[in-house]
Amino acid sequence: MRRSQAALAFLGIAAVALGLASCGSSSGSTSGKEGGTLHGTYAAFPDALDPALARTVEAWTAMYDTYLPLLTYAHENGQAGSKVVPALAESLPKISGDGKTYTLTLRKGLKYSDGTPVKASDFAASVERMFKLNSGGSPFYTGIVGAEKFAETKSGGIPGIKTNDKTGQIAIQLTRPRGTFTSELALMYVALLPADTPAKNLTADPPPATGPYEIVKSEPGRGWSYDRNPQWDKANGNLIESVPGGHLDKIDIKVVSNPSTQVNEVERGSSDWMQTTLPTDLYNGVKEKYEGSQFRVEPTISNYFFWMNTTKPPFDDLKVRQAVNYALNGAAMERIYAGTLKANQQVLPPGMPGFEKFELYPHDMTKAKKLIAEANPSDRDVTVWVDDENPNNEAAAYYQGVLKKLGFNAKLKEIAAEDFFPLIGNQSTPDLDTGWLDWYEDYPHPNDFFQPLLSGESILPQENSNFAQIDDPKLNAKIAQLEEEPLGPKQEAEYADLDREYMEQAPWAPYGSRTVSTFVSDAVDLEDVVFNPTFGQDLASFQLK
Amino acid sequence: MDEGSQPSAAGTAQGGAGPWSVALRRLRRNRLALASLALFGLIVLLSLVAPLWAVHVAHTGPNTTHTLAKVVVNGEKREVVDPTGKPTGPLWLGAGGRFLLGADGSLGRDEMVRLMYGGRASLFIGLIAALLTTSMGAVLGLLAGYFRGWPDTLISRTLDVIWAFPVLLLAIALGLVLAVGGLQIGPVTIPSGSIWIPIMVISVVFVTYTARPLRGEVLSLREKEFVEAAVAQGAGSVRVMFRELLPNLWSTIIVFFTINVANSMLLESALSFLGVGVQPPDASWGTMIASGSNLIKSAPLLTILPGAMILLTVLSLNVLGDALRDALDPRSKLRLEVHAGLAEPEGTPV
């Protein structure tokens, strides 16, 4: 072809290439329109809109597309969403032969939403900030050399993290091998923030973002809003292929405490999405009417249970804890959750590697009462803690009734959902006898259900997550040993044994695993909505029709 | 003039009958007041017989769950809560009175039993809180109005601080703080979750609404001759306040009491609905509205019934309060009508 024609052809090809490149950072769906505002609702304000502190699915859903760690979980549905992929790092970590050194390289040219360049040293600062805040995620990272000492002293830095801002290299030295560490580098706790981010809860004034959306307004208790991160299209979006760029221009989330009202709003179209799982009385009706078009059931790997404080009476007595397990009726719990719960009496939920079904405590009230008579606890005043979300509070009311049948003077304490975890995680809160909890997988590794919830090292004065406060050296050692090994069939079998061993100690009365739901208005294309098993609905996948 | 009687032109006209007898007679002639009294009495009776109903008719307690239970209705077994978590609706007398108004949700508690026990809690809180409010208000009003000077300044400014806060917000703030940690004043400890927490909170926030008007009345009464006479006879301050002034305030206090009961019940319902009053799973009409609101679409009665009970109770108390005011001090009605432009002031030439 003549030169001018070749030049035009080249320009045309370049234009197409540029167009394809900008499309590469979006979810790639062409079924809906770009732009617009999504109006969503939550039943309660998240526990924190600070990545270092947030511990709930609700908060992680809110921040999945805002704060990015070095690695992230693939923005995919189901099992594919459990795969760890690079985010701010160029690639997955290089792990040394002894399993103790992880080396990553920060992508060049990344910026926070306020225009500040992202530096490798921001990772060290973000991890230190997490420890300074006594984050509930700290136990995942105490294996870094110097981290335990830093967690106590809050000064002196963490010598196990070495960074080079010029090359972008980040080297993390562990005290011992840790098979789960790659997964843990993808958790929200270690999302990068500017090094000068204050070590205080920034829920009311969220820090700058690295993801496709930034939180531009936060009114704790009432709602928050996102705009597109201006640095995403200019810089980050072109570098991070694993994170979609989002279709919407704005996302407004408001707190609507009544789930029935949330359903009404979605049905009427005044709201486009409700994060809350449908209330039990409306679940089956909505499912029947909207399944496939606006409603979808999402399986989860989760555990719902009642923890019992093993350090104080009456639950310091094994017989009492076992009695509670015998007394709790899984069939009643399934009914309270209106078919969204599958009864399970183990630490590991179905679907988690290492799960092998067993039933140590089939429902038997007679046996339960016999065990209580044998234990004859002198202290029968117990407080049951629960958040105020339905039907968890009903489950706890049922549990209170069970405890009363066993002869306890059980008092129910319902706490606002946004205050629940901080309150029961603070050991200075009086009367922490027993209470409700749910735990959704952070990553597809059984350690996620043992180490943060049942290991002695997870008992913290604040932001505690081992609510049963069980600290069995033999079981702790087994957790530590299995943590070091890559997960294979042998390790899965050992986790199954560990599950049984813990349930023989009965620090919990687990009662089931739950499905959640995605319910959107007619304006939203349901097919596009991605549900990640760790982070929930992916806001960057939402698209208006 | 009898000690302890309130001057009343209409009373004198009755030809020697005491003012209380006159007031009673006026009240008996007010059919609306009698109907309100009867309605309130019925509501109180319903609440008082709650244990009898629970034991002998419903055979269950207010917090007993029946998630997996079945009940025989007209010879057929029916689940109290179906597998989808939907509770049974009203069975009326189909199950011998059990679940008369249905079950309250997936926990399968008897709605009628909870309604009756809820009334006990709401009425108890309303009555006791009103008693405390009125008593504290009367004492503070007497002290402030009689002594004036710095006691009046201290009391009035403290009441002004309480007055400055919106009642509901102040009550929620106090309730939240006390809901977790309870209350300890010296040797007195009120554990969190106790019914006395909302009683204390409501009493405190409403005291100013009683104390300030009573203070005004005391300021006016203390200038009367009978007070001067008592002082001249050597009566001390305490005697003057409680033997001379207080008897003249009874009619006002009684009216305030009835209105305070109504307001206290409304505030209790609001606090319980918001989770800082009566604590679940205990029943009060407020907590029942809160839990019923989760099922508003599928089982609206669970919200309507406790709401209706609050409405009827408050209405009957307000009507009764108005009637008592009219009976005890007919001139107050005239003053209101004059103020509203509906009547001419007393003494206006015809």
Round to whole Å and give the CA distance between B239 and A328: 64
B84: closest CA of chain A, how far (Å): 4
Pairing type for strands A409-415 and A536-537 reads unpaired
- Neighbouring residues of B326: CB distance < 8 A, sequence distance ≥ 6: B26, B30, B332, B333
Hey, of A261, A278, A335, which one would you mutate to test binding to chain B, going by the most B CBs within 10 A of its CB?
A335
> What percent of chain A has pLDDT above 90?
83
Q: Which of A59, A13, A61 is nearest to A540 (CA)?
A: A61
Q: Do B106 and A336 touch (CB under 8 A)?
A: yes
A409–chain B Cβ distance below 8 A for any pair: no
Confidence class of residue A417 from pLDDT cuts 50, 70 and 90? confident
Amino acid at A276: T
Q: Which of B60, B69, B59, B63 is nearest to A335 (CA)?
A: B69
R_g over Cα of chain B: 24
Q: Do B65 and A398 touch (CB under 8 A)?
A: yes
Q: What is the pLDDT of residues B271-320, one digit of tens each?
A: 888 878 888 889 999 999 988 887 887 889 999 999 999 999 999 999 99
Closest residue in A to B181 (Cα) is A430
Q: Would residue B162 be called left, alpha or beta, if left means φ above 0 and alpha means ψ between -120 and 50 degrees? A: alpha
Tokens 């609510």 belong to residue = A467
Per the structure block, which two tokens stand in for A504?
Answer: 């023989």
Round to whole Å and give the CA distance between B19 and A163: 91
Long-range contacts from B152-159, C-beta under 8 angstroms, 24+ separation: B152/B215, B155/B211, B155/B215, B156/B212, B156/B215, B159/B207, B159/B208, B159/B211, B159/B212
What pTM value is reported for the model?
0.78
Hey, of B294, B296, B297, which one would you mutate to test binding to chain A, going by the most A CBs within 10 A of its CB?
B294
Long-range contacts from B94-97, C-beta under 8 angstroms, 24+ separation: B95/B71, B96/B57, B97/B53, B97/B57, B97/B58
Tokens 């009464």 belong to residue = B221
What number is the average pLDDT over the span B187-198? 84
Confidence class of residue B340 from pLDDT cuts 50, 70 and 90? low
Per the structure block, which two tokens stand in for A409?
Answer: 């003077």
Closest CB from B84, B85, B280 relative to A412: B280
B106–chain A Cβ distance below 8 A for any pair: yes
Q: Which of A385, A469, A450 is nearest to A424 (CA)?
A: A385
Cβ–Cβ under 8 Å, residues A463 and A428: no
B64–chain A Cβ distance below 8 A for any pair: yes
A203–chain B Cβ distance below 8 A for any pair: no
Q: What pLDDT does A20 receive?
A: 38
B336: closest CA of chain A, how far (Å): 43
Q: Do B107 and A260 touch (CB under 8 A)?
A: no
A517: closest CA of chain B, how far (Å): 16
Q: What pLDDT does A258 receive?
A: 86
In this prediction, does ipTM exceed 0.85? no
Closest CB from B68, B84, B281 relative to A331: B68
Cβ–Cβ under 8 Å, residues A330 and A490: no
* Residues of chain A positioned with their CB less than 8 A from the CB of B184: none
Q: What is the pLDDT of residues A307-348, one digit of tens each?
A: 999 999 999 999 999 999 999 999 999 999 988 999 999 999
Is pLDDT of B336 > 60?
Answer: no
Round to whole Å and give the CA distance between B140 and B129: 16
- Neighbouring residues of B2: CB distance < 8 A, sequence distance ≥ 6: B18
Beta bridge partners of A341: A514
A168–chain B Cβ distance below 8 A for any pair: no
Closest CB from A281, A414, A416 relative to B295: A281
Cβ-in-10-Å burial (0-12, 13-18, 19+) of A375 comes to: middle
* Residues of chain A positioned with their CB less than 8 A from the CB of B86: 281, 338
Average pLDDT, chain A: 91
Is pLDDT of A13 > 70?
Answer: no
Q: Which of A147, A69, A73, A155 is nearest to A110 (CA)?
A: A69
Cβ–Cβ under 8 Å, residues B277 and B198: yes
Q: What is the pLDDT of residues A129-155, one digit of tens each?
A: 999 999 989 989 999 999 999 999 999
Q: In this structure, how many other beta carbons lie within 10 angstroms of the beta carbon of residue A116?
A: 15
Cβ-in-10-Å burial (0-12, 13-18, 19+) of A55 comes to: buried
- Neighbouring residues of B161: CB distance < 8 A, sequence distance ≥ 6: none
Closest CB from B67, B181, B281 relative to A412: B281
Cβ–Cβ under 8 Å, residues A454 and A466: yes
Q: Do B85 and A388 touch (CB under 8 A)?
A: no
Tokens 């030295």 belong to residue = A173
Per the structure block, which two tokens stand in for A355?
Answer: 């799960």
Q: Which of B128, B66, B121 is nearest to B309 (CA)?
A: B121
Round to whole Å and give the CA distance between B205 and B187: 23
Is pLDDT of B7 > 50?
Answer: no
A473–chain B Cβ distance below 8 A for any pair: no
Q: Which of A393, A440, A482, A430 is nearest to A180 (CA)?
A: A482
Q: Where are the alpha helices (DSSP H) in B148-236?
A: 149-164, 167-181, 196-221, 225-232
